[in-house]
Structure formats: C-alpha cells, structure tokens
Structure 1
C-alpha cells in the first residue's frame, strides 16, 4: 500500500514524485563553524543560488530529490524548505546520523549500557523527526540515513545502524546508507539490518556505483536491497565511463529495478571550496544525469523502461511503500 510522502513543503501523493534523485544534499554545513564564523555561509547569496540550481533540475524534467543531510552534516530543514518552495521541487528530508567512527559525548553518555543509561536518544530523535517533525518546523522526515566507511562497524557506527533499524521497524520509513564500496561495507550493513528485522527491500545501499565489482553488487541486490548508483559527477571516486558501464551491465543482468541514480551533490558544502569544485569537479551537479548520464546510458543500450524503473518506479516504491 502506498502512502503520501512527506516533503519539506508538505505531503506529496506518490504519483506526483516523478523523476527522483535519491541521494542528494542541498546544504552540507558545520553548524559550529557557521556560528563562530558567519561569513562561512552567506545565506542571502546561497539560498537564491540553491533555488536557481534546483529550478534548473526541475526544468530538466525532475520533480523530487531526497536530501540525505542529517545530524553530523549540518541539517537545517527550514532553509531547505525555503529553497524547495522557491524552486517548485519536492525535497524529502532525512533523519539519522552521519559518522564514520564515534558519537558525540551527549549521545555516547546516554542510552543502554552507557554512563547514564536510559532510552537511546538516537532512536528517540529519529522517531520524533518522522512522526512529529524536525525541531519546531513540523517538517517530517521521510527516510532514515546512516553510514559505514573504511573504519568499519565501530561501536558508534553499530549503535547508529541498530537505532536506524529500530526506528524503521517502528515507523516503516525506508533506510538509505553511505557505504564504502571498496571495502564492501554494504554487506555488513545488510547483516545488521537483517538481525534487527529490517525489510531489506526498503534499504538503499548508497555509493554502490563507486564499485565495478558485479559480484558485490549482485550480492547486495539478491538480498533485496536497492543499489545507490549515486555519485555521478564525483569523478575522483570513479570515472564516468566505469559508472555508466556498471549500470548498463547490471541492467543487462536484470537488475534495473534494483538501482537508483543520483549524484550526492550539493548546492553548497563547507567541505568543498566552491572554486575547487568548479575547477576539479565540474560535472558534480544536479543536471549531470539528465544532460550527460542518460544519453550515455541510452547509447550503451539501457532502455527507456529501465531508466523509468531507476528514476521513477523504484524511488516511488521505496518512498511511498511500507514494509511487507
């Protein structure tokens, strides 16, 4: 059964999601840096710039992005709502925690087995963001986010994974991950999610497109999860030709309905100097897929039906469905 999808500007009927980019960001910020150095984020300039960039994406035929900016990445959904309204595009907000290793002390000192004990504040925050809204905005999260990178499943990372799984069980909201493909971290994520009773068909294993290892990708998909082929334009972690070829090969093997496409791009990030991005990563932008990737995939033999599966049908199934 499908349900309305929460976005930063209100619920959206599933048939209005249209073409969807499943792993993007609007602003990636360091809140402490901004508070102590306000010049590091000029909202008066950056918000109109973001509106222009997302308007360009909408005019290229896309209706929705999933913004996977959560705790640890400077999430500010009020700003994102202003951008989404200005651009006339749907933005699905996320809840979760982004860490490769440890958790901050205000979390690490609370919860089962910690110094202070009590309920796990991670699960509490995630469920509240989904059911009641983020902060005082009333904007409800529509997806859960977690990360496992090269350090592996550290105690802090494992705690996030299991809290995300618990929130998924309670709310039915899907899970989207950051997973280091070179170290096959997606398999570790799936193992923990399965232990926790997660419906793996409601999980997107992010950054799968960083790998050309078809055995790894098929193993993830054969367990039911969707592959995030979601870093088009980030050429330092995988070239354009390899990314296109991997998607095409997986389509040939029958996995078109187990992949989604995206960039993992942002309008502005404290992590990247804008001049550096423009000079070294010119294709790391929202319109790279409609302008460059889709023509290349078609030339490689990917059909329009397969593209629709990756851009429309599978995102809709994940965002609007409920666990079986």
Structure 2
C-alpha cells in the first residue's frame, strides 16, 4: 500500500494530508481564447491570479484545511507549471489530476484518431494519462494523483465512452483513483459504474462526483452500495439550495453512509467558464472556505457528529488516495 501521494509541491505522506477538499480547481481557463483575444472580458493577469490563489489558499489553511485536489484536466485549461508556482508559495498541499473534460466530443486531435476512428491507431488518451501518473506532467516532474472523466446530459456518446474506458485502463495500470463529473438528475453515475465495471475497475476506487445535486436517495444508495464514494462537492453553488445540500448529506449520514462521502465545492480561484463578476454576485458563498465556515456548523446542527465529519473530510480522502498500484 502506497504511503505517499504526489503533490504539486512534492510527495506527501498520505497520513499527513489532513482535512481535504476532494473536488476543486485552481484555474479554469480557455487558452485558445486567451491567446487569440487577450483582451477578452474575463481579462487574465498571470501574476495577479497567482497572487490571488495564494491568498485564498492561505484563508483555507487558516480554517484548518491542509489539502486541495485540483481536478482541472484537458478541456478545462490545465497548465500544471502555473499550479506549481502557486504551490511554492502555499502551505496547502495541491494534488493534480489527469483525464479529460469531455461533454460530448473529444478535442479534434483525439476525435479523429485512435480506436474506433477513421484514422485508427493507438489510444493516445490512455498513453498520456498513464504517463502523467507514472512519469509526471511534462516539464514539471509532478505526477498526477487522480483520474478525471465526465458524463453529462449527452450521456455515453462515442467519445465520452472512449474517455471513460481510457481512464479505466489508466486506473488499472497505475491504481490512481478515479473521480468524475456527472449529471445527477439523469443518474449518469450509474452509466459510469456500468462502464467501469465492464473494464474491471474496483468501484470502491471511484468517486462519483456531483452526487449532492440530487435527493434521489435510491440512486445515491445504489451507487454507494456498489462500492463507490459519493462526491458531495458543490457546496456554495446554489443551483441546489444550501439547506437542501446540507439535508442530503445529513440524511445519508443518518442512513449510515458517512464512510462513503467526501465534501467539496467544485469552485476555483479563477474561471472563465462563466462571467466571474456575475458568478460572484449569484453565488457569494461559492468559495473554498464555505465548508469550514458554514457547512460544518450546519451539519452539526442537523445531528451529524464530529466523527462523521472527520470521516468525510479526513479519513475517506486518505482511503481513496491510498492504493497498492495497478491490478
């Protein structure tokens, strides 16, 4: 069983990760837009954004959190050298991921080559994912610690299915845990579990993301009973109200599932996925300190014990990130 995990600042003992946010982002960017229209309204300033990320991580650390998992992958503007610069100036451990954020079709580079495409050829996706985990992200020496994939409204399109199976292959080769983005209202987590099971994945090494977007308890319990962890990871995004998100976690704890949940926000320091100013106005609590400041006290008021909270924030992340390699 591995005793260390790779971070943007170097290897860290898994037992020393402490309170961990399992589904976050540092920077979500659109490089092609930035490069071609640098005066775009979201206005990227490299140094200012690095400074702001360090400031926000310092605030997170002051609330007793020690680790943040950055799930920014291809499709979301992943640029690990920038994250390394942030890590050098922060006391928070930052874990990086590999994988692909694909809602329907892969980027052109992958869409027209590889298994099942007219051009054919090897699965470069799986090759790149494995390399990121075993050798490190090019130019940084930082090894990815998690695999990320997506199944949203479009469902299992050809390319989405391909990404899931490439992620499953990389997982089987390396043992790196899988975490996902889902559309919970359409029960997409079950689609993911089906594909992973077909590829021989131990579902106990998978986090089904955005599970807290629904109070369909049959759906949630079915996934947890199959072994997977549930990502209750959009606190602060009030497309589902704060009260409802707290209620869902508290109910699942009442039903004995605290050992199968992790908590997070799925927010970022900077994102041009939507207008940053409008987003801040709509969701003022969607920030890295929300769980510490608001969610934990609300869960305690709902009868969730400190032991259960520590399980979701400390013990479950530690179990997910501890593994014995490929299988």
| TM-score, normalised by the number of residues in structure 2 | 0.97
2:3·2:15 contact (CA, 8 Å) conserved in 1? Answer: no
- Stretch deviating more after TM superposition (140-149 or 82-91): 82-91
For structure 2, the 5+ residue unaligned runs are: none
- Structure 2 residue 75 is matched with structure 1 residue 76: no
Map Cα deviations across residues 236-260 of structure 1 (whole Å, 9 max, x no partner). Answer: 2x11111101100100111001000
- Stretch deviating more after TM superposition (174-183 or 33-42): 33-42
In structure 1, what is the equivalent of residue 168 of structure 2? 165
Map Cα deviations across residues 191-231 of structure 1 (whole Å, 9 max, x no partner). Answer: 00000001110100000000011111000000000000000
Q: What is the alpha-carbon distance in structure 2 between the residues aligned to residue 105 and residue 17 of structure 1?
A: 38
Q: What is the alpha-carbon distance in structure 1 between the residues aligned to residue 57 and residue 291 of structure 2?
A: 13
Q: Displacement of 1:3 after TM fit? A: 2.7
1:168·1:175 contact (CA, 8 Å) conserved in 2? Answer: yes
- Stretch deviating more after TM superposition (143-152 or 81-90): 81-90
1:110·1:118 contact (CA, 8 Å) conserved in 2? Answer: yes
Q: Name the SS for the 1:5 alignment partner.
A: strand
Map Cα deviations across residues 44-79 of structure 1 (whole Å, 9 max, x no partner). Answer: 211101100011001110000110000000001111
Q: What is the alpha-carbon distance in structure 2 between the residues aligned to residue 118 and residue 155 of structure 1?
A: 16
Q: Displacement of 1:271 after TM fit? A: 1.4
- Structure 2 residue 16 is matched with structure 1 residue 16: yes
Moved over 4 A (4+): none
1:204 to 203, 207, 218: 207
Q: What is the alpha-carbon distance in structure 2 between the residues aligned to residue 149 and residue 278 of structure 1?
A: 24
- Give RMSD over aligned pairs: 1.1
Q: What is the alpha-carbon distance in structure 1 between the residues aligned to residue 195 and residue 162 of structure 2?
A: 10
Give the 5 Å matches for 1:82-231. 82-231=85-234
Q: Displacement of 1:88 after TM fit? A: 1.2
For structure 1, the 5+ residue unaligned runs are: none
Q: What is the alpha-carbon distance in structure 2 between the residues aligned to residue 118 and residue 82 of structure 1?
A: 36
Q: Displacement of 1:81 after TM fit? A: 1.4
